[in-house]
Amino acid sequence: MNLYKIISGFFFILAMTINFGFFYGNPIILAQHSSIELFAAIVINLIATVLKLGDKTQLGAVLLATSLVADIQLIASATVWTFAEYLTKSISVEAVTAIISLSGGALIANTISVILFIGDTLKSKR
């Protein structure tokens, strides 16, 4: 039992599940996707990234990389939403699909990250 492992594992998995929560729903209807969930996904992902900082091992480097990918995808998703809402006044179907599919990409990155994390845990003897 390692407190740091619990906290980091919690955030890695939470980042994936919240991301999934936002992604789940009809990809052309924005009303089925909550902005609060997107915000939460971004924050949890950033925290997960920070928790992965400074691990010198090969696995640590890959984990950090997947996390950075997820961050960029989610922030891009939020940026597209902001642009669509405030600059073009109405949110087109194209913008909606872009927002959702960007978060879908982040979901894949987060899934990989969680799989790697679980794999590492299973591999260790203790």
Binding positions for another protein, rule: CB under 8 A: 35-36, 38-39, 43, 46-47, 50-51, 53-56, 78, 82, 85-86
Closest distance between another protein and the C-beta of residue 67, in Å? 13
For the record, the structure tokens of 106 come out as 């982040």
Residues 66 and 107: their CA atoms lie apart, in Å, by 10
How many other CB atoms are there within 10 angstroms of residue 94's CB atom? 11
Task: Give Cα 4 distance to the centre of its chain.
Answer: 20
Measured from the CB atom, the residue of 86 and 122 that comes closer to another protein is 86
Measured from the CB atom, the residue of 35 and 115 that comes closer to another protein is 35
List Cβ neighbours of 1 (8 Å cut-off, separation of 6 or more). none
Closest distance between another protein and the C-beta of residue 35, in Å? 6
Measured from the CB atom, the residue of 41 and 69 that comes closer to another protein is 41
Residues 25 and 27: their CA atoms lie apart, in Å, by 6
Closest distance between another protein and the C-beta of residue 34, in Å? 11
Closest distance between another protein and the C-beta of residue 97, in Å? 20
Residues 28 and 42: their CA atoms lie apart, in Å, by 21
Measured from the CB atom, the residue of 60 and 108 that comes closer to another protein is 60
Residues 22 and 33: their CA atoms lie apart, in Å, by 6
